[in-house]
Amino acid sequence: MSRLKDPNIIRLLAVCICSDPLCMITEYMENGDLNQFLSRHEPEGQLALISNAPTVSFSNLCYMAGQIASGMKYLSSLNFVHRDLATRNCLVGKNFTIKIADFGMSRNLYSGDYYRIQGRAVLPIRWMSWESILLGKFTTASDVWAFGVTLWEILNFCKEQPYSQLTDEQVIENTGEFFRDQKRQIYLPQPGLCPDSLYKMMLSCWRRNTKERPSFQEIHRALLE
């Protein structure tokens, strides 16, 4: 982690490894994680005016998603696989600055987002590609799948967990549909704020064939446009 240097990746400043508790010191991001940040906000519009809630514009949502894509583009250029990309693992600074973190820091707070598969570690199955769940295969292409879910979270202002209508077991069954490819897969629905072009990009992140998913370079370029 200390070798990762990118404007959209959290900087590791120091570690304490001599005695318990083991600690890592990272740069400070004053607005906390993106999940909590967005859940405290509303989209611009009549509802926000009535409730007097703080708002985030659609262009700023795209700006934040673009920064995540940029950080992931950097990680993928180093062949670094994140394995747990989600809004809970992105931190927010001033002026909607986003830095990707993780690295296992949010497990307690978001324990409901993780599922213990028998004989394996707890896994964020609702963000994971079918091949990661069924075959234990983690690649940049599986990070692209997770990015599609993260983008879905952003456009829903993190008001809902992915596949909230499905149990954990049904989520795993759904990945089996991708494996069998009988066209019975359940996809995350198009968020109300989401234009067709952006939803089409999300769906491309969830293609069964890993080679048909876009690269983070392509995703980042599309979001800039």
Active site residue ranges = 84
Structure tokens at 222: 């599309």
Nearest in space to 68 (alpha carbons), one of 1, 6, 3: 6
d(CA 23, CA 49): 43
Structure tokens at 203: 């769906």
41 phi/psi in degrees, rounded to 5: -115, 170
d(CA 207, CA 154): 20
- Residues 6 or more apart from 166 whose CB is under 8 A from it? 174, 186
